[in-house]
Structure 1
Amino acid sequence: MRVLRPFLSGPFTGWHMLGVMVLFFGTVIAVNMTMAYFAGSSWSGLIVKNTYVASQKFDDEVIETERMKAKGWASQLDVGGDAVVYSLKNALGKPIVADEVLAAFNRPVGEDQDRVLSLEARADGSYASAHDLAAGQWLVKVTATRGGELVYRDVQRIIIGTAGSE
């Protein structure tokens, strides 16, 4: 308190008010600059380079997805333990044959953990692969192709639990 004694003795002057204002606005400006630095140096939030082209592709994908849903096909994605299993069946419940099935796993808030898994055909008609995905929320885009043509596209949001919560 002895250090502040010279500042507190006597009347409150314009110099005191100037000091209060400089300290207050200096603190606000320093906090804003710190927040702006962290916002600019972290993830940009951009998932695609050209949003116009992506929006055009999105519209085409929506039309294609609606066409696929009209077929009555059903898909199931299971991510448990250390394996990803994907099954795709037609309206009669028979497995759909595909040459290649890719599952792109993307984090909704970042891209540093994103990965694409190639699922291998199994005897029961499903497709599977081992994984080492971290727990948390994922956006999974599965594409099945045959002869270079798209057979089916599926997008699901999943949550992979921790070891104790599965």
Structure 2
Amino acid sequence: MVRMDSFVRETFRFRTERLSLMHKARKNIKLSNGFVIAKGQTVRSSLKSAHQGPEQGDDVMEFRPWRFLGKSKTAIKVGADFLPFSMGRHACPGRFLAIQEIKTVGVLAVSKFSKIEIQDPSKTMKSLRTNIGEPVPSGLIITSRKRASRQGDILDTIQNS
């Protein structure tokens, strides 16, 4: 599950363009540059800048599934560099269950299928003009795993990486 955890964390880091955190200001806040956020104003954070900013390294636009192997932060750990579940006292309490379910489905997928391919990768998400997106039907091609031969399939790739 360590590899699956790294894969999930990297997926959240890499594909955050449809996620944002919204908060309503409870009082007037003056930022260091002089800009004032008025009480009652809704503010959205940019997860993309947090997850793909220069402080994340030189290869932030490259998907590396094992980027977080050997690191102490797992997919449920939150902080300024990993915000899909917010942070601090506002961190999502359901993230533990959500990550466990995502990893379980991922492990089942790679153990049951040898190939999962999207027919049209350009069709991934449709903006709902909110802080989330909706998956667009893109036609998945799923190939069941053959019991006899496992050479060259997804599971071998994960185990041998």
Structure with the bigger percentage of strand: 1
Same fold (TM over 0.5): no
Q: Based on CA coordinates, which of the two structures has the bigger radius of gyration?
A: 1
The TM-score with structure 1 as length reference comes to: 0.27
The TM-score with structure 2 as length reference comes to: 0.28
Higher relative contact order (CA 8 A, sep 6+): 2
